[in-house]
Structures are given as C-alpha cells and as structure tokens.
Amino acid sequence: MTHYLDHAATTPMLPAAIEAFVESAGSVGNASSLHTAGRAARRTVEESRERIAAALGCRPSEVVFTSGGTEADNLAVKGTWAARRGADPARTRVVSSSVEHHAVLDSVEHLVRSRGAQVSWLEPDRCGHVATGDLRAVLAEHGASTALVSVMWANNEVGAVQPVAELAAVAHEHGVPFHTDAVQGLAHLPVRFDASGADLMTVTAHKVGGPVGVGALLARRDAALEPQLHGGGQERQVRSGTLDVPAVHAFAVALEETVAARDVEAKRVLGLRDRLLEGALGLGLGITVGGCWHPGDGEQRLPGNAHLVVPGCEGDSLLYLLDAAGVECSTGSACQAGVPQPSHVLLAMGHSEAEARGALRLSLGHTSTDADVDAVLAALPGVVERARQAGGSR
C-alpha cells in the first residue's frame, strides 16, 4: 500500500473536480469564439470566475487566469516591476524574502541580471518568519525607489505563515504595491483577498484538489501590470492564451469544496501532523523539526506541514528509502541542473549546510489518514539507519 504525504507538491484531485473536468472536456468550444459553442465555453469560464471570486473574497474582474502559480508569480513580479518603472524610472527595487518559492526568487534575480533592478532581501528568523519591522526599515530607506514588495503567505518547505496583512499595510504606508504567493496556504488557512490587504495574490488549482495547469493571479483593478505573454489579451489584456475551460471549471469546483470544508479539515490535518511530529521526535533518532512547532498551532505553521531534519543523513537517501517502504514525500532541497542543492529556506533560517541536506518534508491533505502517519513512524527507524550507513554516519 502506498502512503502519499506530498500534498505540498500536489494534491489528488477531488472527485467533484474530476467530474467537472470530464463534463466540460466533453464539450467543444473556444471561450473567445462568438458562435454557440464558444459562448457556452465563455459562460462556463465566467461562472467559474464568479465562484472563485466568491470563495476568495474578491471581484470576478480581479481574477486573472494563468497556467498555474509559477506564471502568476512571474506576472506579478516582472509585470509590476516593469509597469511601475515605466511610470517612474526611479522605481527599480524589489523587496522580497529570502525564503520565497523559486518562482518569485528567480523572477527577482532575472530582473536584477537582465533589467538593472535592485533587490532588498528580508531575512527570516529561526522559525522562518519575516518581521514587519524589517520591512519598515527597508522601506524607510528605499521606499521611493521600490516598485514592489513580495512575501509569500506560507512557506512551501517549513510551513511558516507570514503576517501578510501587516506586511501589506507597511508597504502601503510607502505607496508600494504588495504581492503574496498564497499557493501553500489556500487549502488550510483563511485566505481572503479582501482581508489580506494585498494588491496581488497568486493561487493555483492543484494544491486544493484541482487539476495541474491552471491557476490565477488575483489583481486589483488599479494594479499596474505589464503583460509577460503577448497575443490575444484574453485575460484583462495582461495575460494572453486560450483558456483551458475544463481546467478552469474544475478549479472552481475544487476551490469551493475546499473552502467549505476548510475549518474542519484544517483541524483534522493538524491532529495528524502533531501526532506525526511527536512520534518522530520520540523515536530516539536525533530528529528535529525544521522551523518552529507548537502542538495545536495551525496559525503560525501550516496545519499539514511536518518538516523533519535528520542528522547524519542525505535527504535524497531518506526519500528513496521511504519510497521503497511505500511512503511518498519530499526533501527540503531543490534539485537544479541535476545537482542536489541544500535548501535555500533552511540556510536562510540559520541551519548548517549538513542540516539543510538532511531534511524531509511530509505534507498532509484531504486524503491523509492515521494509517499514513503510522506507516511513516514504522518506516523511519530502519530508513534512518540505512541512510546513515550509506552516508558513513551513525
């Protein structure tokens, strides 16, 4: 039996979302076409847009469909920077955190390398949290030259939840738009665009039981964005491309169902996470928790995030050995160009490179059960022993 504990990477599609996808996939029609089939497709898109807007606390006109979170982050960061600099050449700076997803990090680095941007990185504390005081200090010095502040809602590796509304308020004190990548928080946190104070917010379907390949950038009507794709201008003239009608429909259905069950589901998953972490720490293997964890806390740390640092082990070895034992999870490291790299998130939080290489991310979601937790705890002692033998450490 396989035990899937990688919901932070992608979630299994909800049955209702699959049904919605299949229903729409059986109909022909480009949502930009004017004939009957095209108008039917457009109706599905616009009804889905309204449902997504209602679930996330925004206007339908603020929902800009994309191919997923990465495209939405790129549009938010690059598009805002270009538009703001175009209106005011002095605004060349981006302020972001050093623990962002690579979709934001690499977008910022691209602007630095290719467009002459400056960047100020906000460093996290040992828990992975960014301080509003640090942002205030940066903007006190560089506010007039800053085009955008971008800080994620919840971290994809260690689950740290950021004070988004407070950060957005500080950015607005200096007349700077605020973007947040809310991809990881959407399933288990009370994510609302209207309450967040953000000008731009990234969301995606496949983290809430929807399909891979569709997401959205929520963008206030007065948000200045320069398109990063050029063509038909289908989405508010800032995003071009024929819309994937079945995926958009399934996204709306999955999001509605997730939001309706979110409070109950978050408590259920929180209980599983705490049992997993308590059990792992009690195995006598020297395991520690990446980031800060307090039992019962689902506000400062994502309810479904269980991040383990295992001394004397390589994360990849742990991953493959757990996979062989029927447990599917992730490491805390990114793999770029085929070369495993230590997690930039853990390094930024003050962990050593050795610690950052020996990390496991076990993430729980709507299919997770006590049996999944039992399987992890049963497999870990043997897996850790073998991984340490392979690495020459005991």
- Tell me the C-alpha distance between 169 and 165, whole Å: 6
How many Cβ atoms are within 10 Å of 233's Cβ, its own excluded?
Answer: 14
pLDDT(322) > 90: yes
The pLDDT of 345-353, averaged and rounded, is 95
Which residue segment(s) compose the domain that 370 sits in?
3-10+262-391
Q: CATH no. for residue 300? A: 3.90.1150.10
Q: Are residues 60 and 189 in the same domain?
A: yes
Region 179-183: mean pLDDT is 98
336 pLDDT higher than 70? no
pLDDT of residue 339: 54
In percent, the amount of the chain with pLDDT more than 70 equals 97
pLDDT for 341 equals 81
Mean of all residue pLDDT scores within the chain: 96
With the CA atoms of 252, 53, 95 and 355 taken in that order, what torsion angle do they form, in degrees rounded to the nearest 10?
Answer: -40
Its pTM stands at: 0.96
Same-domain check for residues 189 and 274: no
Of 369, 358, 367, 364, the residue nearest 298 (C-alpha)? 364
**Are residues 200 and 311 both part of a single domain?**
no
Q: Which of 58, 127, 292, 335 is catalytic?
A: 335
337 pLDDT tier (thresholds 50, 70, 90): very low
Write the CATH number for 200. 3.40.640.10
- 75 with 190, same domain: the answer is yes
Rounded percentage of the chain residues whose pLDDT exceeds 90: 95
Q: Could you read off the pLDDT of 83-114 as tens digits, one per residue?
A: 999 999 999 999 999 999 999 999 999 999 99
State whether 57 and 169 are in the same domain: yes
Tell me the H-state helices in the chain.
15-25, 36-56, 69-74, 80-87, 102-115, 132-142, 164-173, 193-196, 245-281, 315-324, 344-348, 353-357, 370-391
Same domain for 367 and 245:
no
Q: Which of 240, 256, 272 is the last residue of a domain?
A: 256
Is residue 58 part of the annotated active site? The answer reads: no
Say yes or no: 226 and 280 in one domain.
no
Biggest alpha carbon–alpha carbon distance for the chain: 69
Q: What is the mean pLDDT of residues 228-247?
A: 97
Q: What's the average model confidence in pLDDT over 194-207?
A: 98
pLDDT digits (tens, 9 = 90+) for 372-394: 999 999 999 999 999 999 876 54
Evaluate if residue 333 carries a pLDDT over 60: no
Q: How many domains does the chain have?
A: 2
Do residue 189 and residue 278 come from a single domain?
no
Q: Which pLDDT tens digit goes with each residue over 73-84? A: 999 999 999 999
Q: How confident is the model at residue 59 (pLDDT cuts 50, 70, 90)?
A: very high
- pLDDT band at 335, cuts 50/70/90? very low
Q: What pLDDT does 55 receive?
A: 98
pLDDT for 379 equals 98
The long-range contacts involving 177-180, CB below 8 angstroms and separated by at least 24 positions, are: 177/80, 177/84, 177/147, 177/148, 177/149, 177/223, 177/224, 178/148, 178/149, 178/150, 178/151, 179/76, 179/77, 179/80, 179/148, 179/149, 179/150, 179/151, 180/150, 180/151, 180/152, 180/153
What per-residue confidence (pLDDT) applies to 332? 65
